[in-house]
């Protein structure tokens, strides 16, 4: 027999005589293989609804002190999916409306029952339930698709904002880079033309001044080009780090000495704090010097005259991905400048980004700190910034004392 002609029916009826009558009608339905389960109490009926796998449920309107409407409400609460049909002893239009509004598929009067009516009611109820199931599945699928689209749209909005921010940052970078390169280039061309236009009559002292300024501007251009090349090599992964054992304190003192004239020009004092006489670690000397130089250069640039800068070295630890810790060194540069907005403490290390407090239309490429970040990452270290309670900011980096193979670039 076709599986569609098999029915498993649950009858919830507290009157045995009515059960036997209903059973006789059901057994006389032609061309159907029907299994009928009978429940006579309200409590058992609730348990049966919660666990049954029936195709149809027939519910008597009167169930002792309870009603079939209460059972329908329970069925709705537990999301019972089989069609439910209310059986009643007398026709009552109001009860009919209440039953259908409570979720019943149909409402039948016992005195009017026969096999033909039951078969027709079963067939329509099952067909309607299948239609409702398909609609429910379509609704769920549509809601899921809408949810996916909303998520995608939200992601697109975020991506667009990021792209717009990147475009603006790159535009600012190109503008700043153009200014940064034009200024020394104009100086080089200007002083070269001055010297060449009247080389015979220009005093040697003045020619010397021209050459000094040409050299200074050329060095500035070289620094810009070197920064761009460093960034390109670091991004491409082609930069190899030459890890050597050296004293980080000695490197810091050498970099600080190179900035003596800049410190003097702004009447800045510089203090180096290091409790230990030596801070030996493995690192790329040239690259770490570049990081220290960049951090100290920024500190001098943004600190007002007659203030103090502090360089610190401290023992530290770094945590590996597996939770273990390794010995490390932390270097810090503290200035007394304008500080950094809290929401920019991380973004200032991104390429083409400058702090809104230090950004002007006439300087800065937004690349220096990004290069520092990539160099420290190549040393399996960490770099960050924080504002000082008394004003200004402190930039830190931490590198391991001993480099693992993964830290070699």
Q: Which domains does the chain have, with CATH numbers?
A: 3-113 (3.40.50.2300), 153-235 (1.10.287.130), 241-407 (3.30.565.10)
Q: Tell me how crowded residue 1 is: count the other CB atoms within 10 A of its CB.
A: 8
Q: What is the pLDDT of residue 52?
A: 76
Q: State how far the Cα of 108 lies from the Cα of 80, in Å rounded to an integer.
A: 20
226-to-179, 222, 371 alpha-carbon distances in Å: 17, 6, 11
Cβ distance 225 to 206 under 8 Å?
A: no
The pLDDT tens digits along the chain (409 residues) read 455 678 889 999 988 998 999 899 988 888 888 889 999 888 888 888 888 788 899 998 888 888 888 888 898 888 888 888 888 887 777 777 887 787 788 888 888 888 888 888 888 888 888 888 888 888 888 888 888 988 888 888 888 888 887 777 676 666 666 666 777 787 888 878 877 877 777 788 888 888 888 888 887 787 777 766 666 666 666 567 789 999 999 999 999 998 998 899 999 999 999 988 899 999 999 889 989 988 998 899 889 999 999 999 999 999 887 888 999 999 999 998 888 888 888 888 876 556 555 554 434 455 678 889 989 998 999 999 999 988 889 999 999 999 876 544 4
- Which pLDDT value is given to residue 343? 84
- At what angle are helices 68-77 and 42-51 packed, to 10 degrees? 30
Please return the burial class of 340, using the count of CB atoms within 10 Å of its CB with bins 0-12, 13-18 and 19+.
buried
- For 22-44, give one letter per residue: b (16+ CB within 10 A) or e: bbebbeebeebebebebbbebee
């Amino acid at each position: 027999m076709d599986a569609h002609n098999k029915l498993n029916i649950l009858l919830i009826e507290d009157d045995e005589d009515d059960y036997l009558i209903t059973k006789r009608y059901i057994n006389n339905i032609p061309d159907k293989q029907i299994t009928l389960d009978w429940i006579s109490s309200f409590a058992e009926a609730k348990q049966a609804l919660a666990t049954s796998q029936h195709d149809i449920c027939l519910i008597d309107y009167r169930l002792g002190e309870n009603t079939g409407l209460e059972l329908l409400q329970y069925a709705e609460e537990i999301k019972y999916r089989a069609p439910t049909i209310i059986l009643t002893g007398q026709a009552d239009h109001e009860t009919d409306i209440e039953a259908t509004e409570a979720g019943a598929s149909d409402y039948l009067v016992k005195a009017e029952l026969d096999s033909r009516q039951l078969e027709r009611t079963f067939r329509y109820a099952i067909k309607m339930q299948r239609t409702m199931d398909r609609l429910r599945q379509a609704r769920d699928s549509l809601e899921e698709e809408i949810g996916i689209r909303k998520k995608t749209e939200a992601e697109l909005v975020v991506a667009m904002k990021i792209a717009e921010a990147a475009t603006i940052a790159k535009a600012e970078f190109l503008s700043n880079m153009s200014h940064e390169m034009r200024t020394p280039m104009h100086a080089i061309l200007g002083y070269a033309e001055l010297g060449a236009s009247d080389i015979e009559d220009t005093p040697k002292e003045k020619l010397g001044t021209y050459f000094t300024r040409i050299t200074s501007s050329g060095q500035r251009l070289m620094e810009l080009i070197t920064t761009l090349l460093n960034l390109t090599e670091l991004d491409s992964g082609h930069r190899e780090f030459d890890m050597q054992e050296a004293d980080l304190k000695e490197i810091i003192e050498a970099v600080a000495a190179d900035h003596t004239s800049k410190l003097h020009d702004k009447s800045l004092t510089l203090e180096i704090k290091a409790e230990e006489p030596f801070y030996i670690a493995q690192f790329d000397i040239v690259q770490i010097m570049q990081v220290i130089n960049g951090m100290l250069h920024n500190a001098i640039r943004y600190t007002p005259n007659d203030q103090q800068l502090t360089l610190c070295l401290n023992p530290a630890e770094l945590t590996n991905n597996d939770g273990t810790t390794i010995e490390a060194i932390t270097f810090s540069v503290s200035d007394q400048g304008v500080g950094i907005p809290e929401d920019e403490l991380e973004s200032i290390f991104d390429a083409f980004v400058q702090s809104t407090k230090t950004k002007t239309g006439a300087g800065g490429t937004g690349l220096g700190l990004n290069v520092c970040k990539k160099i420290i990452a190549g040393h399996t270290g960490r770099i960050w910034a924080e504002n000082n309670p008394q004003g200004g900011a402190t930039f830190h980096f931490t590198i391991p004392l001993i480099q693992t193979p993964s830290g070699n670039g």
